[in-house]
């Protein structure tokens, strides 16, 4: 299988003001995140708000540079310092956001919005770009009569189709999806998830799929990466993570997820409190202040990611 | 007697394109201590119906109903004074947009203390102390410090919880919660849902829960009403509705859940909810319905009982499960 992406030690620290008046301090948005993603597969990234999901997504989509670490896409190392090279590489990775309205230019018709990435990249002539746009519209289930309309005339689900179509115009190999269905209704969500499954098969795409909805993740993911305060808590195949979660944080997330089927309901392992501030993460295991299993060692020593039962987990007690 | 008893609620908006019925003939009844969930796709009139009950719709809305009663009193006949005494005390609402319900000019603690003293529950230092306790109750860390914060200094999830704290401050008899946990992490959502369940058990609070999240509905509601394009589709006890939906829309909604997927593809419902300017057929679901026949496009579907408290509005409802038909 071809490797679409390899990340090693990705770290992003941001200088930010502490409180309204405070001095600047370092936000540890992402720390030492490594993983690989093969073509045709989906890696889901889950975690609470502020855990670093979007930070990771933006680095992989070549929008932000990591403070440390290396990223290889389609076998080539990304040089974040070389602006011209970076621009060329961006054609190979595209991003889709939760709110498609924000990412679509309200003044462009749909046909123009789809052709624009080709214009910018200088691909083909205007007739071939129009044809490619029409072709992609059909692929994502938009009818030809929509071509001349503006984004405000579309429903949320249709806009998400447009955003996906636009992201695919340059035939990327890797699609970074940041909460792509979180703003959609159950029925429209199903349409978009089906579309993503079809496109993945047709184009051999790899997906980095950020979502806080574990029932969606369970359906779409091949592998799952659980982030806690910018670090990997657990990463592994879907069956391992959902079938036998080992990190107490993964277990807490799963047990807090409301279930439609009574038979799926596990005993709640309620989590006290909130994720601590990434301005000064707790010592040792960052999860220890909320962890039901924490021991003295957890306060003192950070657990390393280790292989246990077919996945990697960072927990002394797992 | 039901605590909240709404019959035949209809809301019509005057818009530039002409009148638009966002809600049409909806019934909502809730007993003390009961949790009713209202579900349906975006734009199906869930929020508008609840705002109509609260008397909070803008001027361009015309509300009609056979009955809108709370605790035996006609909500439409209340004087402004009587309404102020009731709303926020016995009848409280959590809004879908948390920012709109908090005043940006005052600290969160002050606003909760104000709500307490406005209804004579506590004042001064006592009210401030109760405000901090309420913030702690909804799981806000460092509640003393947060009580002194202004809404813009808190995250969306934090504001949402502050608003919940304000809504439950006076231990209302009925809480209408419009997407109360949609903006929250599942971990915080679980805390809030547990809190609402506890209030229900301890104070007999009734709850109307408006949500998209079928998992939340399945875990919290006693009864469910499914609304489509402003109209009732089906209502039933939660367990019965999830086990055996009778309206094709309910069935389609449940089949579209990833939890109920049988393979890689989900059973998506084709098409979309009709927009405000689109015409509605006698059965508004007919254009998307796999069971639709000509009659669905020419005659309003009748209401049929489905046993117990269940009912369905459909010409061709799904058959009852085998066990029940025999009974
Ligand atoms: N430019 C920045 N300045 C200051 N803090 C930042 C910046 N970018 C990210 N952060 C912080 O880094 C952490 C991770 O943020 P990120 O947006 O990646 O979280 P997330 O997991 O996507 O959360 P959500 O589920 O809310 O989208 C947060 O604490 C955030 O406040
Ligand atoms: N003031 C208004 N004037 C005109 N139309 C309105 C007004 N307020 C709401 N509507 C329309 O009424 C319909 C129902 O809206 P409502 O907000 O009740 O939907 P909902 O079921 O709560 O959806 P969601 O799940 O997205 O919250 C929508 O089509 C909306 O555009
Ligand atoms: S009335 Fe007809 S169109 Fe409407 S839901 Fe029933 S079968 Fe479908
Ligand atoms: Mg994010
Ligand atoms: Mg609403």
Q: In whole angstroms, what is the distance from residue A55 CA to residue A72 CA?
A: 17
Query: What is the structure's pLDDT at B324?
Result: 60
Q: Which residues of A141-157 are buried (b: 16+ CB within 10 A; e: fewer)?
A: bbeeebbeeebeebbbb
Chain A residues in contact with B273 (beta carbon < 8 A): 185
Q: Report how far ligand 5's centroid is from the alpha carbon of A316 (Å).
A: 44
Which is it for strands A306-308 and B18-30: parallel, antiparallel or unpaired?
unpaired
Chain A residues in contact with B269 (beta carbon < 8 A): 187, 190-191
pTM above 0.90, yes or no: yes
In the 8-state DSSP scheme, what is residue A88?
H
Q: Report how far ligand 5's centroid is from the alpha carbon of B95 (Å).
A: 9
Q: How far is B149 from chain A (nearest CA, A)?
A: 11
Per-residue confidence at B326, pLDDT binned at 50, 70, 90?
very low
Q: In whole angstroms, what is the distance from residue B131 CA to residue B115 CA?
A: 9
In the 8-state DSSP scheme, what is residue B321?
P
Ligand 1 atom with the smallest distance to the CA of A28 is: 12
* B144–chain A Cβ distance below 8 A for any pair: no
Q: Which residues of A199-210 are buried (b: 16+ CB within 10 A; e: fewer)?
A: bbeebebbbbbb
**Residue of B56 and A265 predicted with greater confidence:** B56
Q: What is the ipTM of this complex?
A: 0.88
Q: Which residues of B84-97 are buried (b: 16+ CB within 10 A; e: fewer)?
A: eebbbbbbbbbbbe
Q: In whole angstroms, what is the distance from residue A229 CA to residue A240 CA?
A: 22
In this prediction, residues A254-261 reach a mean pLDDT of 91
In this predicted model, what pLDDT tens digit does every residue of A174-187 receive, in sequence order?
999 999 998 888 88
> What residue has token string 């948005």?
A29
Question: How many residues make up chain B in this entry?
Answer: 327
Alpha-helical regions (H) of chain A: 53-60, 83-90, 100-103, 110-121, 126-139, 156-168, 186-203, 214-220, 238-243, 248-256, 296-300
**DSSP 3-state of A100:** helix
In this predicted model, what pLDDT tens digit does every residue of A130-185 receive, in sequence order?
999 999 998 888 888 889 999 888 878 888 899 999 999 999 999 999 999 988 88
Cβ contact B186–A157 (<8 Å): no
Check: CB of residue A156 under 8 Å from CB of residue B42. Answer: yes
Please name the residues in contact with B12: beta carbons below 8 A apart, sequence gap of 6 or more.
B19, B20, B21, B22, B61, B62, B64
Chain A residues in contact with B268 (beta carbon < 8 A): 187-188, 190-191, 194
In this predicted model, what pLDDT tens digit does every residue of B82-137 receive, in sequence order?
998 999 899 999 988 766 778 989 999 999 999 999 998 999 999 999 999 999 99
Query: What is the structure's pLDDT at B252?
Result: 96
Query: Which residue of A190, A252, A261 is in closest CB contact with B187?
Result: A252
- Pocket test of ligand 1: the residue of A45, A46, A52 to mutate, having most ligand atoms within 8 Å of its CB, is A52
Q: Report how far ligand 1's centroid is from the alpha carbon of B98 (Å).
A: 21
Q: What is the helix (H) or strand (E) element at residue A94, kind and residue range?
A: strand A93-96
Query: What is the structure's pLDDT at B327?
Result: 42
Q: What is the helix (H) or strand (E) element at residue B162, kind and residue range?
A: helix B156-167
DSSP codes, A197-217: HHHHHHHT-EEEEE-S-HHHH
Residue A274 scores a pLDDT above 90 = no
Residue B76 corresponds to which tokens in the numbers above?
């439409």
Query: What is the structure's pLDDT at A184?
Result: 86
Q: What is the helix (H) or strand (E) element at residue B5, kind and residue range?
A: strand B4-15
**Residue nearest atom 30 in ligand 1 by C-alpha distance:** A50
B44 lines ligand 2 (CB under 6 A): yes
Chain A residues in contact with B153 (beta carbon < 8 A): 20
Cβ contact B261–A256 (<8 Å): no
Query: What is the structure's pLDDT at B325?
Result: 53
Per-residue confidence at B278, pLDDT binned at 50, 70, 90?
confident
Q: Report how far ligand 3's centroid is from the alpha carbon of B315 (Å).
A: 6
Q: In whole angstroms, what is the distance from residue A56 CA to residue A74 CA?
A: 18
Query: What is the structure's pLDDT at B277?
Result: 78
Per-residue confidence at A19, pLDDT binned at 50, 70, 90?
low
Residue A306 scores a pLDDT above 90 = yes
In this predicted model, what pLDDT tens digit does every residue of B154-166 receive, in sequence order?
877 788 889 999 9
Give whole-number Cα distances, A263 to B54, B218, B240, B267, in Å: 37, 12, 15, 21
Query: What is the structure's pLDDT at B31?
Result: 97
Residue A124 corresponds to which tokens in the numbers above?
């083909």
Give whole-number Cα distances, A192 to A185, A211, B163, B256, in Å: 10, 14, 33, 11
- Enumerate residues lining ligand 1, CB below 6 A: A 14, 16, 27, 29, 47, 49-55, 212, 278
Restricting to B residues 147-166, those with a Cβ less than 8 Å away from any Cβ of A are 153, 155, 157
DSSP codes, A293-317: T--HHHHHSPPPPEEETTEEE--S-
Query: What is the structure's pLDDT at A139?
Result: 87
Q: Compute the radius of gyration of chain B from its Cα atoms.
A: 21
Per-residue confidence at B20, pLDDT binned at 50, 70, 90?
very high
């Amino acid at each position: 299988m071809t490797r679409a992406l390899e990340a090693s030690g990705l770290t992003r620290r941001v200088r930010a003001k502490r409180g309204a008046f405070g001095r600047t301090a370092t936000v540890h948005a992402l720390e030492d995140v490594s993983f690989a993603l093969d073509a045709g597969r989906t890696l889901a990234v889950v975690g609470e708000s502020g855990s670093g999901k979007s930070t990771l997504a933006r680095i992989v989509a070549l929008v932000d540079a990591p403070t440390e670490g290396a990223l290889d896409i389609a076998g080539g190392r990304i040089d974040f310092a070389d602006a011209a090279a970076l621009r060329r590489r961006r054609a190979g990775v595209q991003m889709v956001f939760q709110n498609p309205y924000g990412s679509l230019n309200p003044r462009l018709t749909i046909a123009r919005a789809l052709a624009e990435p080709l214009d910018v990249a200088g691909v083909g002539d205007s007739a071939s770009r129009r044809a490619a746009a029409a072709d992609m519209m059909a692929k994502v289930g938009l009818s030809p009569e929509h071509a001349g309309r503006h984004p405000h005339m579309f429903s949320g689900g249709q806009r998400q189709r447009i955003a996906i179509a636009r992201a695919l115009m340059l035939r990327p190999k890797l699609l970074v999806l940041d909460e792509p269905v979180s703003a959609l209704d159950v029925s429209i969500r199903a349409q978009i998830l089906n579309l993503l499954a079809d496109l993945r098969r047709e184009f051999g795409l790899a997906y980095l799929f950020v979502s806080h909805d574990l029932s969606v993740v369970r359906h779409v993911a091949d592998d799952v990466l659980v982030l806690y305060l910018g670090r990997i808590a657990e990463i592994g195949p879907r069956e391992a993570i959902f079938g036998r979660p080992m990190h107490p944080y993964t277990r807490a997330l799963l047990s807090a997820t409301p279930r439609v089927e009574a038979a799926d309901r596990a005993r709640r392992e309620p989590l006290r409190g909130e994720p601590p501030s990434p301005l000064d993460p707790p010592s040792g295991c960052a999860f220890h202040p909320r962890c039901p299993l924490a021991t003295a060692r957890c306060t003192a020593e950070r657990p390393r990611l280790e292989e246990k039962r077919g996945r990697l987990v960072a927990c002394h007690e797992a | 007697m039901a605590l909240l008893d709404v019959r035949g609620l209809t809301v019509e908006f005057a818009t530039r394109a002409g009148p638009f019925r966002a809600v049409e003939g909806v019934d909502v009844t809730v007993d003390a201590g009961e949790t009713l969930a209202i579900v349906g796709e975006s734009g199906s009139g869930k929020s508008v119906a609840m705002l109509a009950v609260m008397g909070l719709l803008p001027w361009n809305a015309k509300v009609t109903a056979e009955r809108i009663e709370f605790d035996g009193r006609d909500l439409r006949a209340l004087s402004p004074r009587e309404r102020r005494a009731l709303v926020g005390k016995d009848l409280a609402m959590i809004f879908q947009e948390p920012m709109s319900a908090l005043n940006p000019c005052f600290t969160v603690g002050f606003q909760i203390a104000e709500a307490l003293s406005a209804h004579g529950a506590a004042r001064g230092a006592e009210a401030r102390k109760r405000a901090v306790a309420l913030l702690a109750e909804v799981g806000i860390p460092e509640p003393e410090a947060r009580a002194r914060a202004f809404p813009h200094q808190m995250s969306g999830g934090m504001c949402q919880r502050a608003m919940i704290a304000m809504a439950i401050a006076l231990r209302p008899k009925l809480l209408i919660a419009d997407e109360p946990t949609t903006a929250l992490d599942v971990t915080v959502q679980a805390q809030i849902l547990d809190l609402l369940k506890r209030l229900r058990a301890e104070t007999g609070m009734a709850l109307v829960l408006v949500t998209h999240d079928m998992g939340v509905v399945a875990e919290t509601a006693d009864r469910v009403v499914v609304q489509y394009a402003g109209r009732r589709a089906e209502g039933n006890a939660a367990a019965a509705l999830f086990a055996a939906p009778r309206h094709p829309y309910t069935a389609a909604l449940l089949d579209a859940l990833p939890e109920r997927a049988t393979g890689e593809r989900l059973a998506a419902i084709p098409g979309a909810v009709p927009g405000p300017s689109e015409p509605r057929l006698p059965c508004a679901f007919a254009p998307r319905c796999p069971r639709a026949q000509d009659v669905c496009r020419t005659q309003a579907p009748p209401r049929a009982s489905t046993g117990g408290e269940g009912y369905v509005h459909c010409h061709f409802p799904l058959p009852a499960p085998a066990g029940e038909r025999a009974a």
